[in-house]
């Protein structure tokens, strides 16, 4: 299959860009990478890849994207951390256009298999009220009471994937990602998620000598965080599997936000005074990934320890931070050099 045309949407972003890198490394010869952003804003961009800057809200662009494709990985969406999704509900819901039109174009162009990146934000809010990190099973998405805006769009799009499979025979696969983090992710600007935001804040404190950190919420909210390498492995395994219904793809190593800060402080070799902003967006109180289904079906679950993943992420953000301070665009991969 390595000569098949593989399409990655959202390829200018974190997971999409990392997926393109991974596929190149695996020897895929024909990759089409698409993102709405102008090329200079892509986090990673590679030679020998068909890079297209297209708005996939538009049907005609989805046709261009799907033409000739064997497999499509749809990772394009408007998204960000809680600060972004709580304040941009309409924008998040508009991503429904991307998935709906990509599905239609995929059927029209005879695409063999289609991957959709859903989210733990589909889960019923009632089941996430406790701080004790409730493990969410796939069935806990129903009765539906998803995260307003972003989560409802994901839930609706999951169902579109199911019905396109049932009614039109398109082989769809859907994973519910739980908080992905790692090098090449968004780390400033308002769309960053907790792991990257905390790394950046700790670095700022270290560099400035002002040993304080602002934490959103009371600090005892629980979450699990999946390292990017596990996410990429999971996408591949799920795409090749016969798992037809949406499945959790997340780490089951739940921590509080305070514990996440402890880890980053330890990596940075610093202790900070913590100031809690209780009025900041903080999302649900507790959430963890129940991995029973993925373990049963794939004999695997995301297993990079948070400490190990955060170490790599911190180092990467540190380099980016210093490069930015020097007025440079940032650290780029060697394979980006020719862009």
Residues binding ligand NAD (CB under 6 A): 9-10, 12-16, 35-37, 55-57, 75-79, 98, 117, 119, 177, 179-180, 186, 193
Q: Which residue, 88 or 285, is less far from ligand NAD as judged by CB?
A: 88
Annotation marks residue 314 as catalytic: no
Q: Which residue, 146 or 205, is less far from ligand NAD as judged by CB?
A: 146
Q: Which residue, 134 or 283, is less far from ligand NAD as judged by CB?
A: 283
How many angstroms separate the CA atoms of 97 and 215, rounded? 34
> Least CB distance from residue 120 to ligand NAD, whole Å?
6
> Least CB distance from residue 186 to ligand NAD, whole Å?
6
Q: Which residue, 160 or 205, is less far from ligand NAD as judged by CB?
A: 160
Residue with tokens 């301070």: 325
What does DSSP say about strands 247-249 and 50-53: parallel, antiparallel, or unpaired? unpaired
With left for phi above 0 and alpha for psi between -120 and 50, is residue 68 left, alpha or beta?
left
Q: Which residue is nearest to ligand NAD (CB)?
A: 13
> Least CB distance from residue 157 to ligand NAD, whole Å?
9
Which residues neighbour 139 within 8 Å (Cβ) at sequence distance 6 or greater?
A: none
Q: Which residue, 194 or 272, is less far from ligand NAD as judged by CB?
A: 194
> Least CB distance from residue 69 to ligand NAD, whole Å?
15
Residue of 215, 217, 314, 197 whose CA lies nearest to 264: 314
Q: Catalytic residue among 73, 114, 150, 321, which?
A: 150
SS3 116: strand
SS3 286: strand
Residue with tokens 């402890």: 262
Q: Where are the alpha helices (DSSP H) in 109-193?
A: 150-168
What does DSSP say about strands 135-136 and 226-227: parallel, antiparallel, or unpaired? unpaired
Q: How many helices, marked H, and strands, marked E, lie in the chain?
A: 11, 15
> Least CB distance from residue 59 to ligand NAD, whole Å?
12
Give catalytic residue positions: 150
């Amino acid at each position: 299959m390595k000569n098949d045309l593989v399409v990655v949407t959202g390829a200018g972003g974190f997971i999409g860009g990392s997926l393109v890198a991974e596929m190149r490394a695996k020897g895929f010869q024909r990759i089409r990478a698409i993102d709405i952003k102008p090329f200079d804003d892509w986090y990673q961009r590679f030679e020998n890849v068909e890079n297209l800057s297209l708005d996939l809200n538009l049907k005609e662009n989805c046709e261009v994207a799907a033409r000739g494709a064997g497999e499509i990985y749809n990772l394009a969406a408007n998204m960000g951390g809680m600060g972004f999704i709580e304040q941009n509900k309409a924008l998040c819901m508009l991503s429904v256009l991307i998935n709906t039109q990509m599905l239609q174009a995929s059927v029209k162009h005879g695409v063999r298999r289609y991957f959709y990146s859903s989210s733990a934000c589909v889960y019923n809010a009632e089941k996430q009220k406790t701080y004790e990190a409730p493990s969410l099973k796939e069935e806990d998405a129903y009765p539906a009471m998803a995260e307003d805006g972003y989560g409802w769009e994901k839930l609706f799009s999951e169902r579109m994937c199911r019905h396109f499979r049932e009614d039109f025979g398109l082989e769809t696969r859907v994973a519910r990602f739980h908080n992905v983090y790692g090098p090449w992710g968004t780390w400033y600007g308002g769309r960053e998620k907790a792991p990257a935001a905390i790394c950046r804040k700790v670095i700022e404190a270290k560099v400035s000598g002002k040993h304080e950190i602002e934490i959103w919420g009371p600090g005892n909210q629980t979450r699990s965080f999946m390292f990017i390498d596990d996410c990429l492995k999971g996408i591949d395994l799920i795409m090749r599997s016969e798992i037809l219904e949406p499945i959790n793809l997340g780490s089951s190593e739940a921590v509080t936000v305070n514990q996440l800060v402890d880890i980053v402080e330890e990596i940075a070799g610093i202790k900070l005074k913590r100031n809690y902003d209780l009025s900041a967006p903080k999302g649900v109180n507790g959430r963890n990934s129940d991995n029973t289904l993925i373990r049963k079906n794939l004999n695997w679950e995301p297993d990079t320890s948070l400490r190990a993943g955060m170490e790599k992420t911190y180092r990467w953000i540190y380099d980016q931070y210093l490069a930015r301070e020097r007025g440079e665009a940032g650290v780029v991969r060697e394979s980006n050099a020719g862009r």
